[in-house]
Amino acid sequence: MSHLDHFFHATRNSWRGLVAITKSEKAFQQELVALAIGIPLAFVIAADAWRCVVLIAVLVLLLIVELLNTGLEKLADVITRDHHPGIGWVKDMGSAAVGLSLLLAGLVWLVALAEWLRLI
């Protein structure tokens, strides 16, 4: 397989993963809406290019963490649907990662909005 074939194969797999999570996960759908709103809003409220990039990046990071968390959950469900403490911890850790990503995104956006409104 050539490098170009490998690239197209990997791109197709990535696209299938994005389509699958978009169809099946409400949280990912909501985060996509936040990104769709956040991209143009970042250009309005960011004082410079770096702030704009950071505002968009924290939303993309949230999507990445949600993808990883959902992958962990799906894999854990394939292993067993029965309650297992170890799998429960793994799922809880993935959920915590999403929660921390949401907290980070919210903090970054709140600071940017406060600056834009000249509150800080």
Query: Does residue 7 belong to any structural domain of this protein?
Result: no
pLDDT of residue 61: 98
Q: What integer pLDDT is reported at residue 80 of this predicted model?
A: 84
Q: Tell me the DSSP string of 2-21.
A: -HHHHHHHHHHHHHHHHHHH
Identify whether 16 is part of a domain: no
Domain limits for position 108: 26-116
Distance CA 6, CA 12 (A): 10
Q: What is the CA radius of gyration of the chain?
A: 18
Active-site residue, 66 included:
yes
pLDDT at 82: 85
Choosing from 31, 66, 73, 115, the catalytic residue is 66
User: 65 in a domain, yes or no?
Assistant: yes
Q: Does residue 44 form part of some domain?
A: yes
In a domain, 50, yes or no: yes
Task: Give 101-110's long-range contacts (Cβ < 8 A, gap of 24+).
Answer: 101/58, 101/61, 101/62, 101/65, 101/66, 102/62, 104/58, 104/61, 105/58, 105/59, 105/61, 105/62, 108/54, 108/55, 108/58, 109/38, 109/55, 109/58
Q: What's residue 84's pLDDT?
A: 86
Q: Is residue 2 part of a domain?
A: no
pLDDT value of residue 63? 98
CATH of residue 84: 1.10.287.3610
3 state SS for 74-106: HHHHHHCCCCCHHHHHHHHHHHHHHHHHHHHHH
Per-residue pLDDT of the chain (120 residues; tens, 9 = 90+): 799 999 999 999 999 999 999 999 999 999 999 999 999 999 999 999 999 999 999 999 999 999 999 999 999 999 988 888 899 999 999 999 999 999 999 999 999 999 999 999
Q: Is residue 60 part of a domain?
A: yes
Q: Which residues contact 25 (CB under 8 A, 6 or more apart)?
A: 66, 70
pTM of the predicted protein model: 0.92
The answer to the question of residue 62 being in a domain is yes
> What is the count of structural domains for the chain?
1
What's the pLDDT at 70?
Answer: 97
Question: Which pLDDT does position 62 carry in this prediction?
Answer: 98
